Structure 1
Amino acid sequence: MRPAVLFPLFKPLSSLPGLGPKLAKLAEKLAGPCAVDLLWHLPCGIIDRRFAPKIADAPGGRVCTLTVRVDSHVAPINPRHPYKVRCTDETGVLELIYFHARGPWLEKQIPVGTTVVVSGKVEWFNTTLQMPHPDAVATIESRDEIEAVEPVYPMTAGLPAKTLRKAIRAVVGEVPELPEWQDAAWLKRRGWPTWHDAIRRAHHPEDEADLRLSAPFRQRLAFDELLSNQLALTLVRLQQRRLVGRATKGDGRLRAKVLEVLPFALTSSQVQALADIDADMAAERRMLRLLQGDVGSGKTVVALLAMLNAVEAGAQAALMAPTEILARQHAETLAPLCKAAGVDIALLTGRDKGKARTAVLERLASGELPILIGTHALFQEDVAFKDLAVAVIDEQHRFGVHQRLQLSAKGRGVDVLVMTATPIPRTLTLTAYGDMDVSRLLEKPAGRKPVQTATIALDRLEEVAAGIRRKVAEGARVYWVCPLVEESEQLDLAAATERHAFLRATFGDRVGLVHGKMRGPDKDAVMAAFAEGRLDVLVATTVIEVGVNVPEATVMVVEHAERFGLAQLHQLRGRVGRGDKPSSCLLLFDPHLTETARARLKTLRDTEDGFVIAEEDLKLRGAGEVLGTRQSGLPEFRLADLAEHGELLSAARDDARLIVERDPDLASPRGQALRTLLYLFERDAAAKTLRSG
């Protein structure tokens, strides 16, 4: 259960002052559904209202706080003209300017004859100082209501800044004193404040320096968040290790048959990864291993050999992919190899219905079917294995930890191998897969040709089309990926449809189009036509649809390449260069590039090493953008910035390991405080793995 001390922080936003049902929805879109989410929504700037000159000394263009006497209200004759409130001090005249104002209401708010404090940006108009729409107006008695330094928060349309500030102030005011979960000596060495002081200070910055990620209280909050993440992963890992595993050890007969028919020898990285996997599977504890490797580094072969290890031992194996296209591709790639080994495999997706599905499920339950490949459909309740020993999960960042656990619950002590072709920087690997051991495939299999990469300005589109025409005449097949339009599939589709029409004018009906709005069977039909050579050019919107293996495709064109992340561009490039012909990748960019975008495209041109590219991407764009966190299932950090706080992440990892070694049930006084930390950052799942205490 969440500790009672945190209850005030987990009430809905609509219960906060100023946020009714309508505004609460906007605030939720901005920060999240609970009061605590507003705590993590930190200021991005400040308005300093401490400058309080006399009227005559006020410089134009600056925010000033002035104490003045209200002399008169001047209503406009023409409603298009502004309403003016004329004020003075002993040095001059100030006019408060209001457009579309309600006179009677203003007369009540700012009565003639009173002395008021006004704050806002001032401008000189001829010889008169003016303040258009003051930010704040208060009586002398209530001048403290005007914040001397006002925090500026990231905003969303329709939510007034003042309302948001009021709600955040209310939450910060209710922040309870919590027991200290950080090690006292560590806090002292870093010179960090308590959590309570750090959160108050973060929302009451005094100057620009307080907004920096390197400010001590910002570092303290970042470390708290990173520690909660690392502690949660360490606890989940401990829980997995405590669950009884099983020793699975094959005799190598089926593997030998596959290795005989492989057209190339295994690379040294593949051999090493297999040795790691074999040792894990032979041990009594459960395997939880991440296999990282670039597109084309041979992960699927390693996965098959791991699955055959289970089949040799008389058990079953499953491979799960995030999309139907990828699941089918795995089935097609593995079918000839499994046939050579005399091992049956089947495919199960959400589209399989009726008798065919029932037949697969019966063979699976009886143990007659040793290997099953599928999508999320494998999670369904009626999918029962006789004896599942190893589960392979492809493109893990599309599945959360809980789905990993769901699949491993389909058997007894199931070993889990996770594969990703997304090169993930080391720091991100720690945050997302800290509960796993990691193997990396660093070489490409023999026979893979390097891909020539060129960057070309978009205004040379006609030239590019002419070049493509020549390539197609020589028998090449071409992917043409359309620009990513942030947040909008509708606009993505419009861009792709337009490009499809443009290319059809050149290539006739040998141009296909796939996009996210198409039905599965239609998408598959277009992909199949491209793979079989009935189409020369395939126009695609989202990156995911292109996860198909067509060795004949040798040209990849990416339009508006500057809108894609480096990791995405690198994966797209990996779709070509899979056959024996030289391949090329053309990155078309908007000529008005920012320096960062230019640096990103240069990185891609200079190297094919996915890990180098991923580290560079992290430096240039920050963690949230590297894998498009929203779709990637990677933890989104609200207070920590991995590019800035990388060294804190390593410290948090070491601390978490030490804590769990010394106090695995978090029963000590510090352990109890750490439980509060887990709930504060909503790592409830990890907190629940603890025995209650």
Structure 2
Amino acid sequence: MKDVLDSPVSLLSGVGEERSRALAGLGIQTIRDLLEYFPSRYEDYRIRDLTEVKDGERVTLAGTIYGEPSVRFYGKKKSRIAVRMVIGKIVVTAVWFNQAFVKKHLLPGKEIVVTGKWDKYKLQIVVSEMAEVDSVRLQKRGELAPVYPLGGEITLAYLRKLIQQALEQFGGQLEEMIPAPLVERYRLMPRAEAIQTIHFPPDVERGRQARRRIMFEELFLFQLKIQAHRRINRQQSEGHAQPVPLDEVRRFIQQLPFPLTDAQNRVVKEILDDMTAPYAMNRLLQGDVGSGKTVVAAIALYATVKAGYQGAIMVPTEILAEQHLSSLQSLLAPHGIQVGLLSGSLTAKKRKELIASLQMGLIDVVVGTHALIQEDVFFRKLGLVITDEQHRFGVEQRRILRSKGLSPDVLFMTATPIPRTLAISAFGDMDVSTIDQMPAGRKPVETSWYKHEQFHYVLEQMRQELQKGRQAYVICPLIEESDKLDVQNAIDVHAQLALYFSEYTVGLMHGRLSAKEKDEVMQWFSAGEVHVLVSTTVVEVGVNVPNATFMVIYDAERFGLAQLHQLRGRVGRGVDQSYCVLIADPKTEIGKERMRVMCETTDGFELSQRDLELRGPGDFFGTKQSGLPEFKVADLLNDYKALEVARQETARLVADPAFWEDAEYAALRDYLQREGILDGVVFD
């Protein structure tokens, strides 16, 4: 049966075709949309004491008119009316611009209430609204009046009136969404009352309680979708428990050339638990640059091979594929595990041989680029798929790789530390494992901040490193000179440095080079044939050149903290002390704060949290590809505790068979149906 709240908004009186179109422009098409179109703020009409009012604040004051008003006309139809008012024992001036008609209402001795902008130093209020103390208008107006985002023909007064009408007619139809035990446990305002109150709060505290209730409901329903989706996927997936010989895996770990950190041990257990469970693993492994994700991946690959399966690891670039090949061969080959490389640069003959070996099961683990997902690539028995720097691959590319096996376990890896708040939102359908500890003995990169006019000091420091036989990166935000942005560009900087360091080889890399050209430049740099590499941010991910100890980032204020940290992670990979120099003249406080934070800490998780605070959730990943929901009331940054509670409660709820059967949860099941989560799900 169709819910009356899903009826068109034209059901309300005063909403014709034209108004319907204007409301649709605000995203309001149904009664439900209108009731859930919440205020962005409130006009505060509480009468205030002058002693607590700040300069420039919008304020409502009550007082008595003292003396006659003065009127001054100037220009065409422009006027200024001023009258003195006594508020308590203070005489202030109330001013109206271009409202000459108010003069007749300003009679000495009359008590009035005025709202407007307060000037503390002139003891003056510029009035936008006025009412008499005993007026009907003042009695009808609440202390807090809602202000909504507007557009087109829709005025604030009209929208307030329409929402009031909708609440009176249909407010009783608003059903409770959150189970009664949770409403009680978390002391939440009932839903219908909360929606009435958030629009027209009788006071600040009630408004706060209504907002708290709706914030929790938004996070609760968001997490319910994620948890229900996960459960349904697990039930419908044809995952299988891999018969991993855990004793053999333990021996393999004991024979590694270095001990695992506690964090690595923890995530290895989480991954092995998933692999030996009867559903397909869908896990994100996040860890800072150099935290040891590759060895965790090697352990998982060893486990899948010993269970009788093959493993595949997909990476974004050929040079990264070769680095992984080298690391995995050194760890796995001594145990008789065959590791192969499949990339676009293989000759036709070698590629054919490798694909045949994969199909016959002669290769246990394959490392590759996008070449792995081509149609003619088949496996004998693919059990584990790992994608490194998973955000660099599209959903479709990852899906194709998964389809090469029968519901293989999937592990995504990223070196971009993501604050927990965003991890359980953006990656809510995955389990998240975090390596939040660095291996012992790693030297933190020393970071410093210089202004552009101090660049000659930086060049001398770089020369000292080059004279020791080390290498350096110089990162620029643009490829060529731009009229729009006054920032250093890679081509100019390359020309300047080639002149300055004429005795060294200075290379250039940017996004306009072909993949083959980029790989060539990086191979020369890796081999030590290029001493200074001038590059745009294409060098950011995964490149491992232990001899590079010096990093310069030009116009560093143009980058977010997460990206600056990723770039800094290109150095500090060997045994020598490494340095990162930020060249920046930030004009804003946020820009200066970023530079300070970068110099203070090398902890990627702390930086990502600070980045989130400075930039907000939408900008953290780049809004378009973030997959983050747009909440009306909830704020992922400030409401992270409620998000965590919502995740735990919804996970418990969907795991309970009663949720899928009992009448008390019908509203939530209807919601999941409306959202398309239950499409194709058959209930017993």
Shorter-chain TM-score category? Answer: 0.7 to 0.9
Alignment of 1:188-587 (within 5 A): 188=184, 190-199=186-195, 201-202=197-198, 215-242=208-235, 243-249=237-243, 264-321=258-315, 326-327=320-321, 329-331=323-325, 333-334=327-328, 337=331, 341=336, 343-348=338-343, 363-375=357-369, 378=372, 383-396=377-390, 407-445=401-439, 448-482=442-476, 491=485, 495-497=489-491, 499-507=493-501, 510-516=505-511, 518-542=513-537, 545-587=540-582
Using the alignment, how far apart are the partners of 2:472 and 2:289 within structure 1? 18
**Alpha-carbon deviation of 1:578?**
0.7
What TM-score results when the alignment is normalised by the length of structure 1? 0.71
Query: Is the Cα–Cα contact under 8 Å of residues 476 and 534 in structure 2 kept in the other structure?
Result: yes
Greater RCO (CA < 8 Å, at least 6 residues apart): 1
Q: 1:367 to 1:164 in 2, by over 3 A?
A: farther
Structure 1, residues 627-658: CA drift from partner, whole Å, max 9, x if none?
Answer: 55544445555532233222212321231122
What TM-score results when the alignment is normalised by the length of structure 2? 0.72
Using the alignment, how far apart are the partners of 1:518 and 1:629 within structure 2? 27
User: Please, which moves more after superposition, 276-285 or 490-499?
Assistant: 490-499
Structure 1, residues 415-434: CA drift from partner, whole Å, max 9, x if none?
Answer: 22232322233343333445
Using the alignment, how far apart are the partners of 1:189 and 1:87 within structure 2? 56
Structure 1, residues 584-636: CA drift from partner, whole Å, max 9, x if none?
Answer: 12234436562x66665555444433334444555565544555554444555
Query: Is the Cα–Cα contact under 8 Å of residues 484 and 492 in structure 1 kept in the other structure?
Result: no
Query: Is the Cα–Cα contact under 8 Å of residues 555 and 584 in structure 2 kept in the other structure?
Result: yes
1:184 and 2:202 equivalent?
Answer: no
The residue identity in structure 1 corresponding to 2:637 is A
1:688 and 2:679 equivalent?
Answer: yes
Using the alignment, how far apart are the partners of 2:662 and 2:304 within structure 1? 42
Structure 1, residues 458-488: CA drift from partner, whole Å, max 9, x if none?
Answer: 5533322332233233333222334599xx9
The residue identity in structure 2 corresponding to 1:388 is L
Q: 1:569 to 1:193 in 2, by over 3 A?
A: same
Q: Which residue of 2 aligns with 1:647?
A: 641
**Alpha-carbon deviation of 1:520?**
2.9
Q: 1:519 to 1:209 in 2, by over 3 A?
A: farther
Query: Is the Cα–Cα contact under 8 Å of residues 566 and 626 in structure 1 kept in the other structure?
Result: no
Q: 1:426 to 1:63 in 2, by over 3 A?
A: closer
Q: Which residue of 2 aligns with 1:68?
A: none
**Alpha-carbon deviation of 1:300?**
1.3
Q: 1:199 to 1:397 in 2, by over 3 A?
A: farther
Using the alignment, how far apart are the partners of 2:445 and 2:192 within structure 1? 54
**Alpha-carbon deviation of 1:551?**
1.3
Q: 1:469 to 1:441 in 2, by over 3 A?
A: same
Q: 1:95 to 1:390 in 2, by over 3 A?
A: closer
Corresponding residue SS for 2:297: helix
Using the alignment, how far apart are the partners of 1:131 and 1:18 within structure 2? 36
Q: Which residue of 1 aligns with 2:662?
A: 668
The residue identity in structure 2 corresponding to 1:309 is A
Q: 1:216 to 1:268 in 2, by over 3 A?
A: closer
The residue identity in structure 1 corresponding to 2:215 is A
**Alpha-carbon deviation of 1:182?**
0.8
The residue identity in structure 2 corresponding to 1:644 is N
Query: Is the Cα–Cα contact under 8 Å of residues 511 and 538 in structure 2 kept in the other structure?
Result: no
Query: Is the Cα–Cα contact under 8 Å of residues 567 and 627 in structure 1 kept in the other structure?
Result: no
Alignment of 1:602-641 (within 5 A): 602-618=596-612, 622-628=616-622, 630-633=624-627, 635=629, 637-641=631-635
Using the alignment, how far apart are the partners of 2:217 and 2:409 within structure 1? 32
Q: 1:47 to 1:329 in 2, by over 3 A?
A: farther
Structure 1, residues 113-169: CA drift from partner, whole Å, max 9, x if none?
Answer: 9xxxxx996899xxxx9999x899xxx9999999996655679xxx66966997898
The residue identity in structure 2 corresponding to 1:691 is V
Alignment of 1:74-85 (within 5 A): 82-84=76-78
Q: 1:222 to 1:258 in 2, by over 3 A?
A: same
**Alpha-carbon deviation of 1:222?**
1.9
Q: 1:286 to 1:462 in 2, by over 3 A?
A: same
Using the alignment, how far apart are the partners of 2:140 and 2:496 within structure 1? 61
Query: Is the Cα–Cα contact under 8 Å of residues 660 and 669 in structure 2 kept in the other structure?
Result: yes
Query: Is the Cα–Cα contact under 8 Å of residues 556 and 573 in structure 1 kept in the other structure?
Result: yes
Corresponding residue SS for 1:455: strand
Query: Is the Cα–Cα contact under 8 Å of residues 291 and 439 in structure 1 kept in the other structure?
Result: yes
**Alpha-carbon deviation of 1:389?**
0.8
Which runs of no fewer than 5 residues in structure 2 stay unpaired? 10-16, 48-54, 62-71, 86-92, 105-113
The residue identity in structure 2 corresponding to 1:319 is I
Query: Is the Cα–Cα contact under 8 Å of residues 318 and 343 in structure 2 kept in the other structure?
Result: no
Using the alignment, how far apart are the partners of 2:428 and 2:632 within structure 1? 19
Using the alignment, how far apart are the partners of 1:323 and 1:34 within structure 2? 49
Q: 1:525 to 1:689 in 2, by over 3 A?
A: farther
Query: Is the Cα–Cα contact under 8 Å of residues 313 and 387 in structure 2 kept in the other structure?
Result: yes
Using the alignment, how far apart are the partners of 1:366 and 1:558 within structure 2? 48
Using the alignment, how far apart are the partners of 2:461 and 2:422 within structure 1? 39
**Alpha-carbon deviation of 1:554?**
0.8
Using the alignment, how far apart are the partners of 1:536 and 1:145 within structure 2? 76
Using the alignment, how far apart are the partners of 2:239 and 2:57 within structure 1? 69
**Alpha-carbon deviation of 1:307?**
1.6
The residue identity in structure 1 corresponding to 2:462 is I
Corresponding residue SS for 2:679: helix
Which runs of no fewer than 5 residues in structure 1 stay unpaired? 10-14, 52-58, 66-73, 99-109, 114-118
Structure 1, residues 507-563: CA drift from partner, whole Å, max 9, x if none?
Answer: 359444444455433433333333233433333443774431111211222345455
Query: Is the Cα–Cα contact under 8 Å of residues 319 and 523 in structure 2 kept in the other structure?
Result: no
Alignment RMSD: 5.7
Using the alignment, how far apart are the partners of 2:594 and 2:437 within structure 1? 23
Structure 1, residues 386-421: CA drift from partner, whole Å, max 9, x if none?
Answer: 321111132345568887666444422422223232
Query: Is the Cα–Cα contact under 8 Å of residues 226 and 429 in structure 2 kept in the other structure?
Result: yes
Q: Which residue of 2 aligns with 1:54?
A: none
**Alpha-carbon deviation of 1:85?**
8.1
Using the alignment, how far apart are the partners of 2:534 and 2:239 within structure 1? 47
Q: 1:604 to 1:506 in 2, by over 3 A?
A: same
Q: 1:173 to 1:320 in 2, by over 3 A?
A: farther
- Give me the identity figure in percent: 38
Q: 1:280 to 1:256 in 2, by over 3 A?
A: closer
The residue identity in structure 1 corresponding to 2:271 is I
**Alpha-carbon deviation of 1:181?**
1.6
Q: 1:245 to 1:490 in 2, by over 3 A?
A: farther
Using the alignment, how far apart are the partners of 1:37 and 1:472 within structure 2? 64
Corresponding residue SS for 1:641: coil
The residue identity in structure 2 corresponding to 1:314 is G
